[in-house]
Structure 1
């Protein structure tokens, strides 16, 4: 069963209030044709679409936020949630499509929908600072220490119950395999790379007979198997492929049949 919500709006007092009913009637008819179940309707009267602080629109976005948290706590991944929202034509708060990163965010930076403490009724300031790069002169944004954050309770703005928000944070930390107090850097622990999906069906399962181990998936902490070379040192470039000892690489010209002329 596909569930749907309806949002209707008209911009100014010059327009008729009946336009709201016209929009609702058209949307209800479309839902009936498609076999969708309308679970709620939202309407804004005499408010421009350029204003994001529309009461009904904000209520609609709150319903989407609750849905994302509910599905995440039920075990769905941010990627699957983003795919479902895009398939249903539900835009992100900025009007664009949803991405895995816009839902999951990055560890240590408190960005992304699931990491936003405002949804749990906490407003946080002074999260980042701007510094000047001495060599390039460019501006760089860096996270402040946790002791420098300024937090203010705003329970009236809470969309998610704080205990449920904390459960979501615990899952995010387990999946990222990083310390929540660590610096705002990409995940460096092995857990993230070990749990990622293989790109191909036989990734990590097939290897040459002369190689002792199967060819693992390439990643931050995994390297292609090789029977003649030791594991590369930290900081070196990853090996692109592994070959059996004594094998020769033939050129396309050497594989052509001999000329008969």
Structure 2
């Protein structure tokens, strides 16, 4: 049994896998990490291996105390990946984006793939059918847009996402919801439409913390899977250890 940890920009996600089957998922805090991990181990004493990926520098220190009890592996950029990285600055490509690209290649072979990760930021990653990572785009995420409007203005309130915003906002709050949610919806649909027009045989994968919320606002055919990063870590570990 495998415990996967994703040390993100704003939270730590954990998931227990039996093979490639997701059994349970958790959100952990930095302040209580050891205690929360121990609770998971009590619930799943069959865990033998811990895998992790991080976009920060906290994961190695956080997991040092577990190395005598478990096999601990880290997904690192120096490892083997199932694609050729054609990014002009490969050393700056985030580990989360590399893992998502690997998962897309391993899960959906022989076709073009666009992975959209809607989290703190929205990242777009395109991997061609010949398994070459070509690049993509980065824009502010849903909550970051709300926070930017509040932080960089004198009077706009800090809001959270509204499920069904009006196109024409009839108040300041409704105008913010319209601008943020409709804006990110139009952005996503614009990117997806352009990729679909340019690339044949393309699959669109939407993941990240806001995947389910945003999927309900999109007209395009997509695969919404909020757990795709966690699943991709498992697939990539299998790929790297089955050489």
Task: Please give the range of the TM-score, normalised by the shorter of the 2 chains.
Answer: under 0.3
Which gives a bigger RCO, structure 1 or 2 (Cα 8 Å, sep 6+)?
2
TM-score, structure 2 length as denominator? 0.24
Could you tell me the TM-score, scaled by structure 1's length?
0.23
Greater gyration radius: 1
The structure carrying a bigger strand percent of its residues is 2
